[in-house]
Amino acid sequence: MTNNQINAAIAVACGWKAVCVTAASGFYKGFDNGAKLRPDLPDYCNDLNAMHEAESWLSPIDMDHYIDVLGDMFDNAWAFALATARQRAEAFLRTLGKWEEVQG
């Protein structure tokens, strides 16, 4: 997934109703690669504070799974403590079953 796709998917998971700007300057919920993200949308892929806010949306059960998913991304189980915002964003979407593998 691209950073824009990730940011849009996390925003929707965190309750944003509209994530993109239309040509007519209105907003719409959907996202495709040609769409422009809202300028006020958090940059989950590059901002640890934004990811911290997103993590707060996880239920306790999802949080347990999220920690497992994040830990599985590293050789050292505790290395997840130093995970980047991008790595946390991927684990977040994998936890919710929203991660889409890149085709091709």
Summarize pLDDT for 13-48 with one digit per residue, the tens: 999 988 888 766 666 666 666 678 888 999 999 999
pLDDT at 75: 82
Looking at the domain assignment, is residue 24 inside a domain? yes
Range(s) of the domain holding residue 41: 3-95
Q: How far apart are CA 94 and CA 3, in angstroms?
A: 15
Looking at the domain assignment, is residue 77 inside a domain? yes
pLDDT at 32: 66
For the entire predicted model, the pTM comes to 0.88
Q: Give the pair of three-digit tokens for residue 100.
A: 């889409």
H-type helices in 1-104, by residue range? Answer: 3-13, 48-55, 60-72, 85-95
Domain count, the chain: 1
CB atoms within 10 A of CB 93: 21
Residue 11 reports pLDDT greater than 90: yes
Q: Letter for the amino acid at 11? A: A
Looking at the domain assignment, is residue 102 inside a domain? no
